[in-house]
Amino acid sequence: MKQLTDPFNRNITYLRVSVTDHCNYRCHYCRDEDHVTDTTRNEILSYEELARIVRLFAELGITKVRLTGGEPLLRKDILKLATMLGEIPGIDDIPLSTNAHLLSPIANQLQKAGINRVNISIDSLNQDRFEQITRGGDLDKVIQGIDSAIESGMNPIKLNMVVMRGVNDDEIEAMIDFAIERKIDIRFIETMPIGAAGIDAVDHHYSEAEIVKRIRAHLPDRLITVKSKQTAGPAKSYLINNTETSVGTISAVSNNFCSSCNRVRLTAKGQLILCLGQENSISLRDAIRSNMNDNDIKTMIINAITHKPEKHEFDTNMNNINNVQMVEIGG
Q: What one-letter code names the amino acid at 117? A: R
Q: 176 near 218, Cβ under 8 Å?
A: yes
One of 20, 68, 249, 267 touching ligand SAM (CB under 6 A)? 68
HEC per residue, 216-232: HHHCCCCEEEECCCHHH
Nearest residue to ligand SAM, by Cβ distance, number only: 331
Please give the Cα distance from 76 to 57 (Å, whole number): 24
Could you give the C-alpha distances from 297 to 102, 213, 288, 303, 323, in angstroms and in order? Answer: 35, 48, 8, 10, 28
Residues 144-183 that bind ligand SAM (CB under 6 A): 160, 162
Residues 113-142 that bind ligand SAM (CB under 6 A): 121
CA atoms 323, 203, 326, 283: torsion sign: positive
Pairing relation of β-strands 223-226 and 118-121?
A: unpaired
Residue 97 near ligand SAM by CB under 6 A: yes
Q: What's the min distance (Å) between Cβ of 194 and ligand SAM?
A: 5
Q: What's the min distance (Å) between Cβ of 176 and ligand SAM?
A: 17
Residue 281 near ligand SAM by CB under 6 A: no
Q: 90 near 62, Cβ under 8 Å?
A: yes
Pairing relation of β-strands 236-240 and 223-226?
A: antiparallel
Nearer to ligand SAM by Cβ, of 6 and 71: the residue is: 71
Residue 14 near ligand SAM by CB under 6 A: no
- Helices 139-152/127-134 angle, 10° precision: 90
Q: 204 near 213, Cβ under 8 Å?
A: no
Binding piece for ligand SAM, criterion CB under 6 A, among 194-202, 215-223, 264-272, 287-295: 194-202
Size of the site for ligand SAM (CB under 6 A): 22
Binding piece for ligand SAM, criterion CB under 6 A, among 104-112, 146-154, 185-193, 233-241: 185-193
Binding piece for ligand SAM, criterion CB under 6 A, among 35-43, 63-71, 207-215, 239-247: 63-71
Binding piece for ligand SAM, criterion CB under 6 A, among 91-99, 180-188, 258-266, 269-277: 91-99
Residue 99 near ligand SAM by CB under 6 A: yes
Q: Which stretches of the chain bind ligand SAM, using CB under 6 A?
A: 23, 29-30, 68-69, 71, 97-99, 121, 160, 162, 189, 191-192, 194, 198, 201, 326-327, 330-331
